[in-house]
Amino acid sequence: MPRKIMEQIILSAIMRHIQDNQVIRPSQHGFTKDRSCLTNLIFYDKVTHLVDEGKAVDIVYLDFSKAFDKVSHSTLLEKVVAHGLDGNTLHWVRNWLGGPYGENGGEWS
C-alpha cells in the first residue's frame, strides 16, 4: 500500500481515537480540527481580560514543530499504548515507524 495512503489511514484511526476518548483538551489549538491561530487569539483575549481584572493566570505554550523528528520511536509507541490505541492501529504505526522514516532510529531525514 503506498505510504501516503497508509499515513492517511493511520491518521484517521488515531484522530478518531483522540476524539472518542477526549485525549486532547479543548484548550489545545494547533494541529487540531476546528482549532487554529484564530481560536488561540480568542483564548488569549479572554486571558488578557482576566489579567486586567487582577486574576492569576498560568499559561504554557509549547512548540513541538520538530519534536516528532527527534522522538524515540520506542517511547512514542509506549505513549500510544498508554492511551489505549487499538491493536491494529498500533501495529500499523509500528510498521510505519520501521519503514523508510524510521530506519535511522528516530532521526528523520
The band of 106, judged by pLDDT with boundaries at 50, 70 and 90, is very low
pLDDT at site 60:
77
Q: Contact, 10 vs 89, CB < 8 A?
A: yes
- Over the stretch 91-105, which tens digit does the pLDDT of each residue have? 887 887 775 544 444
CA angle 12, 14, 20 (to 5 degrees): 100
**C-alpha count within 13 angstroms, C-beta hemisphere, residue 3:** 8
Reduced to 3 states (helix: H, G, I; strand: E, B; else coil), residue 20 is helix
Q: Is the pLDDT of residue 109 over 70?
A: no
Q: Is the pLDDT of residue 108 over 70?
A: no
Q: Is the pLDDT of residue 12 over 70?
A: yes
pLDDT at site 69:
67
The band of 107, judged by pLDDT with boundaries at 50, 70 and 90, is very low
- Over the stretch 13-57, which tens digit does the pLDDT of each residue have? 877 887 788 777 777 776 666 777 788 888 889 999 999 999 999
Q: Show me where the domains of the chain are located.
A: 3-97
- The whole-model pTM stands at 0.44
